Amino acid sequence: MVNYDYYRIFYFVAQYKSFTKAAELLDNSQPNITRCMNNLEHELNCKLFVRSNRGITLTPEGLRLYEHVSIAYEQLLIGEQELQRDKSLESGLIHIGASETALHLMLLHKLELFHEKYPHVRLKISNHSTPQAITALRNGLVDFAIVTTPLSTRKCLRHSQLP
């Protein structure tokens, strides 16, 4: 079975047509990059590169593999970027569970301010009774819950004020 890190290395070698440049970008040594690509060629039982003193070019098999690897690698980068945007509230979806009283007394007037500050974040608000909202929170169905008190729970739940 091929080491998947070899495909990441292959992507950079093929992208920059250089073992040395790939090694620099990957903060690795050129001999190690060469060894990994030799191992990949051995495991796939085909030549992926034509080596010359002017650099490397991909063989037909290397081109075919690069078509697939580049799509996969670029999709992984897009996924990572989406996760970063979600964490920074540049985009994403937040699920909120709220009791009707909490929704009207606390949440509605805060939503406009939130939406102005984070226009690309979508909100999904579910109307729950206080116990239902807490259950949804515990079960991971909502990201947070806004409820009215008094409230009794067996396990401690962290709470905070809205910004």
Per-residue CA distances from 93 to 27, 73, 100, 122 (Å): 36, 25, 21, 5
Q: Are strands 55-58 and 49-52 parallel, antiparallel or unpaired?
A: antiparallel
**3-class DSSP assignment, residue 135:** helix
| pLDDT (tens place) for every residue of the chain, 163 residues total | 778 899 999 999 999 999 999 999 999 999 999 999 999 999 999 999 999 888 899 999 999 999 999 999 999 988 888 888 767 777 778 888 888 888 888 888 888 888 888 888 888 888 888 888 888 888 888 888 888 776 666 665 654 433 3
Q: Which residue segments constitute the domains of the chain, with CATH numbers given?
A: 4-85 (1.10.10.10), 89-146 (3.40.190.10)
pTM: 0.56
**3-class DSSP assignment, residue 72:** helix
- Tell me the Ramachandran region of residue 134: left when phi exceeds 0, alpha when psi lies from -120 to 50, beta otherwise: alpha
